Amino acid sequence: MSADGFVKTEINDGIATITFFHPRSNSLPGVILQGMAKAIEHAGMDENVKVIVLRSDGEKSFCAGASFDELVAVSSFDEGRNFFSGFALVINAIRKAPKFVIARVQGKAVGGGVGIACAADYTLAHDSADVKLSELAVGIGPFVVGPAVERKIGSAAFASLAINATEWRNAVWAKKHGMYADLYDSMEGLDEAVGKLSRTLADSSPEAMRRLKEVLWEGTSNWESLLMSRAEISGTLVLSQFTRDAIAKFKAGAR
């Protein structure tokens, strides 16, 4: 595995499986975010693809969220906005893809990882897939992923996650609030369920699925500009001394 991580796509029998990996608990540096967005866009345009499965490599963490290494390196508003716009690109790619995106969440999800799990059209998870929106704890806030999370679990549950930024919520909580469609107590069971659903969708009408996805995402046509404006908020806040000190503390072992 590359020390810099990777994004790869495999297409079999109409199913495009997009896998991302980073050695730091599948965290998301800009290059991974851009790679994910492009992979989703390409799969969405590929006539041979009927359904997209989005997953990360390994068994422990689904996604640790934003790369702290890149956050501490941000030195200007433009750099900050550009970094956080990567999350906007991934969420909008999922939203605009004319095919359903199934997320396989095999472990804990933090920050942007929660956003991806919520942006997916259908998310299946392992019992260990606890969630946390930790952004406020480092002086930022879940601004870019917020619309996707709120759309999936509702404003009250989103506020609970966003405000109590240091507390993990277990996978049962996430399922109860609609983030996960179902939970599995083994990786084999999770993979079997993902495979069964993706095969069923691959045999379904592409046009019917496209039109259903349009209906499910009604009211989000402004997200192209909304998420970018949210990236500007985060791009400003990441420059604060509070955020720099908080991230340094987290990197030292308090995360």
**DSSP-derived 3-state class of residue 125:** strand
- Residue 255's pLDDT is 41
Handedness of CA 104, 110, 113, 116 (dihedral sign): positive
pLDDT at 239 over 50: yes
Query: Is 17:9 a contact under the CB 8 Å cutoff?
Result: yes
pTM exceeds 0.75 for this model: yes
pLDDT digits (tens, 9 = 90+) for 43-83: 999 999 999 999 999 988 999 999 988 998 999 999 999 99
- Residue 19's pLDDT is 98
Domain ranges of the chain: 6-188
pLDDT digits (tens, 9 = 90+) for 20-48: 999 999 999 999 999 999 999 999 999 99
Task: Report d(CA 246, CA 110) in Å as an integer.
Answer: 16
pLDDT > 90: what percent of the chain? 91
- Residue 44's pLDDT is 98
Superfamily of the domain at 6-188: 2-enoyl-CoA Hydratase; Chain A, domain 1 (3.90.226.10)
- Residue 188's pLDDT is 98
Task: Report d(CA 134, CA 142) in Å as an integer.
Answer: 8
pLDDT digits (tens, 9 = 90+) for 156-168: 999 999 999 999 9
Task: Report d(CA 236, CA 227) in Å as an integer.
Answer: 14
- Residue 210's pLDDT is 98
- Residue 69's pLDDT is 87
